[in-house]
């Protein structure tokens, strides 16, 4: 299962002087193209889901496909929610399978940005999920993505960056040093001096938004100064649109599938070009060997109840389901009742945690703690619990060669 811990992945890139691409996916063609490129280049990759794109792509429907693509991949993959509008939507994304998040708060003043980001970090870290903070403003220039990022550029301040990282405990920092979202007109002027100072002061992986439109030399200098993640979309959108236009000319019947023919191929071509330019190509095996895997945990609780009738027991089960499902990092809850009357335990919850961190942290969640002390414990003293990772997921994650052999 080559879903890996995003923090480990980006620290590997940071230590070894290359950058991992975080490529926005806006359709299954994009997903296929990005994964084809990563496998072709043997590169670690971040599948980037951007909340503003959820108007055109339903995250609930697309996440199973994204997870399936990551799970069957031979290269390390992380799944990131980018530009989340709120902590709540970031939590929903975590519960659906994202293992990195970024909440948009950089447009707010420093104190508010710090406050929101710190709260996001506390919630996400309890789920084992990494957080990208942002300081400064990377505005939109031209093109599809530009209008989602209004405002003027506001460069990241060195003094604020240090205080922000210390107070929030973010894992990575997105900085504003002259890049722009969308299609840049003219030559972007990047403030390398500022970048160098921020990198020396913080020593954590830095992130560039607005990755489209820079020269090979500009990427090289960014990476040499601590950039370990580059967000990239507009160029992928442009190659896809160009291909659709070509298909329109050559596809006389104008069939829908004909218009979309080979979108995955052109997206793959552009993604692979970036991976080779940014130095992530050929790194997959090292990353798999050195990074923690991202494997969910199944937590099973079995118990009997005393002193309540069937209606009371059903209400308890329903309340347990509600409380457990609302804990950040709980992906799914199944409530069950034994089929045999003489079963040793009559009731069960099977809870899927996104990460082993939840094994301890879910018990501290205030809603669960209250439910446990006020309700569950009063009717059920003896409970059996087991935490397990499926053998299939474990085998694939601890033995990267297993995946290779499968290929
Ligand atoms: P570009 O569209 O400029 O490549 O930027 C993408 C991005 O930063 C997504 O967050």
Q: What is the pLDDT of residue 403?
A: 46
Q: What is the pLDDT of residue 223?
A: 98
Instruction: Flag whether pLDDT at 134 surpasses 80.
Output: yes
- 345 is written with which tokens? 């335990």
pLDDT in tens, 15-73: 999 999 999 999 999 999 999 999 999 999 999 999 989 888 899 999 999 999 999 99
Residue 404: inside a domain = no
276 and 306, same domain (yes or no): no
Closest ligand 1 atom number to CA of residue 182: 3
Domain at 32, CATH number = 3.20.20.70
Closest ligand 1 atom number to CA of residue 83: 10
Site to probe by mutation for ligand 1, drawn from 212, 267, 274 as the one with most ligand atoms within 8 Å of Cβ, is 212
Residue 255: inside a domain = yes
CA 50 – ligand 1 centroid, Å: 10
Q: What is the pLDDT of residue 375?
A: 95
Which residues have CB under 6 Å of ligand 1?
Answer: 24, 50, 82-83, 145, 181-182, 209-212, 231-234
Going 88 to 330 to 171 to 162, the CA torsion angle's sign is: positive
CA 261 – ligand 1 centroid, Å: 24
374 and 267, same domain (yes or no): no
Residue 222: domain span: 6-290
Whole-model pTM? 0.93
Residue 402: inside a domain = no
CA 124 – ligand 1 centroid, Å: 23
161 and 259, same domain (yes or no): yes
222 and 279, same domain (yes or no): yes
94 and 28, same domain (yes or no): yes
* Residue 155: DSSP 8-state: P
Site to probe by mutation for ligand 1, drawn from 147, 209, 229 as the one with most ligand atoms within 8 Å of Cβ, is 209
Angle separating helix axes 110-126 and 357-364, nearest 10 degrees: 110
Residue 365: inside a domain = yes
Domain end residue (candidates: 234, 258, 290): 290
Domain at 381, CATH number = 3.30.70.100
Residue 378: inside a domain = yes
pLDDT in tens, 362-382: 999 999 999 999 999 999 988
- 297 is written with which tokens? 């945990």
Residue 97: inside a domain = yes
The whole-angstrom separation of Cα 165 and Cα 198 is 11
CB 280 within 8 A of CB 227: no
| Alpha-carbon separation of residue 168 from 98, 114, 122 (angstroms) | 20, 6, 9
285 and 303, same domain (yes or no): no
149 and 117, same domain (yes or no): yes
181 and 134, same domain (yes or no): yes
CA-nearest residue for atom 1, ligand 1, is: 210
Site to probe by mutation for ligand 1, drawn from 146, 147, 227, 232 as the one with most ligand atoms within 8 Å of Cβ, is 232
Residue 239: inside a domain = yes
Domain end residue (candidates: 242, 273, 290): 290
47 and 150, same domain (yes or no): yes
228 and 306, same domain (yes or no): no
Residue 104: inside a domain = yes
- 69 is written with which tokens? 């693509």
Instruction: Indicate the range of 8-22, 134-148, 292-306, 337-351 predicted with least confidence.
Output: 134-148
CA 48 – ligand 1 centroid, Å: 10
Domain end residue (candidates: 290, 323, 339): 290
pLDDT in tens, 78-126: 999 999 999 999 999 999 999 999 999 999 999 999 999 999 999 999 9
276 and 142, same domain (yes or no): yes
114 and 158, same domain (yes or no): yes
Closest ligand 1 atom number to CA of residue 235: 4
For residue 142, name the pLDDT band (cuts at 50, 70, 90): confident
Number of domains composing the chain: 2
The whole-angstrom separation of Cα 359 and Cα 353 is 8
* Catalytic residue annotation: 82
């Amino acid at each position: 299962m080559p879903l890996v811990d995003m923090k480990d992945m980006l620290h590997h890139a940071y230590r070894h002087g290359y950058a991992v691409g975080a490529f926005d996916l806006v359709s299954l063609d994009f997903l296929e193209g990005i994964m084809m490129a990563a496998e072709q280049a043997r590169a670690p990759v971040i599948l980037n889901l951007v909340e503003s794109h959820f108007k055109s792509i339903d995250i609930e429907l697309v996440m199973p496909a994204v997870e399936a693509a990551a799970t069957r991949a031979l290269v390390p993959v992380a799944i990131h929610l980018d530009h989340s509008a709120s902590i709540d939507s970031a939590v929903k994304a975590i519960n659906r399978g994202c293992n990195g998040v970024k909440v948009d708060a950089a447009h707010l003043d420093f104190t508010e940005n710090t406050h929101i980001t710190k709260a996001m970090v506390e919630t996400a870290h309890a789920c084992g999920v990494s957080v990208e903070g942002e300081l400064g403003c990377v505005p939109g220039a031209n093109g599809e993505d530009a209008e989602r990022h209004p405002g003027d550029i506001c460069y990241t301040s060195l003094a604020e960056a240090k205080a922000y990282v210390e107070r929030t405990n973010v894992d990575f920092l997105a900085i504003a040093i002259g890049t722009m979202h969308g299609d840049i007109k003219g030559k972007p002027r990047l403030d390398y001096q500022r970048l160098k100072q921020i990198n020396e002061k913080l020593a954590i992986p830095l992130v560039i938004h607005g990755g489209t439109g820079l020269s090979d030399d500009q990427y090289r200098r960014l990476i040499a100064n601590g950039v370990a993640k580059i967000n990239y979309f507009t160029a992928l959108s442009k190659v896809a649109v160009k291909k659709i236009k070509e298909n329109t000319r050559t596809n006389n019947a104008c069939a829908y599938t004909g218009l979309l023919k080979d979108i995955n191929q052109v997206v793959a071509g552009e993604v692979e070009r970036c991976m080779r330019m940014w130095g992530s190509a050929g790194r997959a095996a090292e990353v798999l060997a050195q990074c923690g895997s991202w494997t969910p945990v199944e937590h099973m609780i079995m118990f009997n109840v005393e002193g309540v009738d069937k209606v009371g027991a059903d209400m308890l089960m329903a309340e347990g389901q509600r409380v457990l499902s609302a804990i950040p990092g709980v992906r799914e809850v199944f409530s069950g009742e034994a089929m045999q009357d003489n079963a040793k335990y009559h009731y069960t919850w099977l809870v899927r945690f996104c990460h082993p961190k939840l094994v301890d942290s879910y018990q501290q969640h205030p809603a669960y703690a209250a439910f446990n002390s006020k309700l569950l414990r009063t009717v059920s003293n003896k409970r059996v619990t087991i935490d397990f990772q499926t053998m299939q997921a474990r085998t694939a994650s601890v033995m990267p060669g297993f995946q290779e052999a499968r290929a």
